[in-house]
Amino acid sequence: MLMHQTMRWFGPNDPVKLSDIRQAGCAGVVTALHHIPPGHVWSITEINIRKFMIGSEGMTWTVVESLPVSEAIKTQSGDYKKHIANYCQSLRNLAACGIKVITYNFMPVLDWVRTDVNWKLPDGARALYFEKNAFIAFDLFLLRRPGAEKDYTKEEIRQAKDRFDLMREHEKQTLFANALLGLPGSDVAFTPQQVLNALETYREIDADRLRQHLFYFLQQVIPVAEELNLQMAIHPDDPPYPVLGLPRVVSTEEDIAAIISAAPSSSNGLCFCTGSLGVRPENDLLAILRRFNEHIHFLHLRNTAKDGYGNFYEATHLGGDTDMFLIVKEILQIQRKLGKSLPMRPDHGHQMLDDLDKKTYPGYSAIGRLKGLAELRGLELGVYRWMLDQ
C-alpha cells in the first residue's frame, strides 16, 4: 500500500495553480481557508466552495492545513472559550463535508522561522536557511526585544554582534523582513510592534503553562473529533526549540507522548514532519515513528542539513541528514500494519529553474516541490517493490 500523495495549495491567490498540482501527479490537495481569521467558524458554504474548486480539477481536498488555533486559545485570554466552541463547530462542518484529517499547530505568535528565504545553493537553486547568529542579531539589535540578552550566553551575544557589524544596511533590512514573515498563505508581514505586543502577552507563560493550555484545548476538542471520526494532527515546532523567548511544547518525543496522554484517543495524533523534528539532534525519527505509529495521521517528508551550532537549511528531499530510505520503509511497514494509506506531501522545495523568476511563498514554488515529490515517489515505489520480494 503506497502513501496518498498530495501537495499544499494556498487557495485562489496561490501562483501555483491546481492544474499544476494535478500535473505533478497528486490525487489530493492540502489547503485551508486562510481568509477566515483564527477563532472564527469555517462555514459549510465556505468549505464546499473550496471543495468544489479542487474537485473541478479532478482532485480531492485530502487534509486541512491548517485549522488555526487562535492566540487567545494559546494564552487562555479574552474569548478563548468561545474560540474553542467555534473550533469545534468548524470540525463539525468539515466532517459534514467529508474531510477527515485536520492539521494544526500550537506555536506561539510565529509559525516557522528562517533568517534567509533565498539562500543560494552551489547549483544556483535557492533554499530556506536558519542562521543562529543572524537570528540572535535580529532579536537583539533589530527587533530589540526587551530582556532578550537573558536568553543568550555572552559568547552567543559576542558572535551575534560580530555578525551584525559585518552586515550592510540592505542585509539588515532583508534579515528583518525574513524573520517577520507572515503566516503561510498571507502576503502581509508582521510589524515589529505587532510582534513585540504579541510577545508581551506571553510574558507570564512558560513552557509548563503553555503545555497546560494545549492539554485543555485537546480535552475540549478531541472528544468532538472522536465523535465525528476525525483525525487531529499536530505539527511539530519549527524550529523545535524556543525562539524570541517563546516556549515550544511540540519539539521532542516526550512532548508528543505528553500530548497524546493528555487526551487519549485515536483521533489525537501527529503530523510527522521529518524536517522540523530532524533539526533537533537528539530526536530519533525512527523511534518516534515506531512509538506513535497508530497516532500518525499526516506526513511531511522533507530534509534538512544542520551543523553543531544550530544552523540548518532545507536540503534536497533525499539529500539531508535524515535517511529517507529508512523513513519511507518504516512508513510502508506501518501502513501495512494499520491497513491504510497515509496522506503525504513534499515540503519546502527549492526555488529553481523558471521559478527563480517568479514570486511565490518561500518554500512553496512548484518545480522544487515537484522534484521532491518525484524523488519521494520513486524511492517509495522502489522500497515497496523491494519489500514485496522479501
What amino acid positions are annotated as catalytic residues? Answer: 235, 273, 300, 347-348, 364
Question: Is residue 365 classed as helix, strand or coil in its secondary structure?
Answer: coil
The CA distance from 124 to 117, in Å, is 14
Q: b/e for 194-209, b at 16 or more Cβ within 10 A?
A: ebeebbebbeebeeee
Residues 179, 184, 189, 193, CA torsion sign:
negative
The CA distance from 337 to 302, in Å, is 24
Side chain identity at 380, as an amino acid letter? E
The CA distance from 274 to 279, in Å, is 8
- The one-character DSSP state at 243 is B
With beta carbons less than 8 A apart as the criterion, state whether 322 and 295 touch.
Answer: no
Spatial neighbors of 237 by CB under 8 A, at least 6 apart, are: 105, 107, 248, 249, 250, 251, 276
Q: What values do phi and psi take at 109, rounded to 5?
A: 65, -65
Residues 93, 97, 103, 107, CA torsion sign:
negative
Question: Is residue 267 classed as helix, strand or coil in its secondary structure?
Answer: coil
**Beta-bridge mates of residue 268:** 232
The CA distance from 180 to 376, in Å, is 31
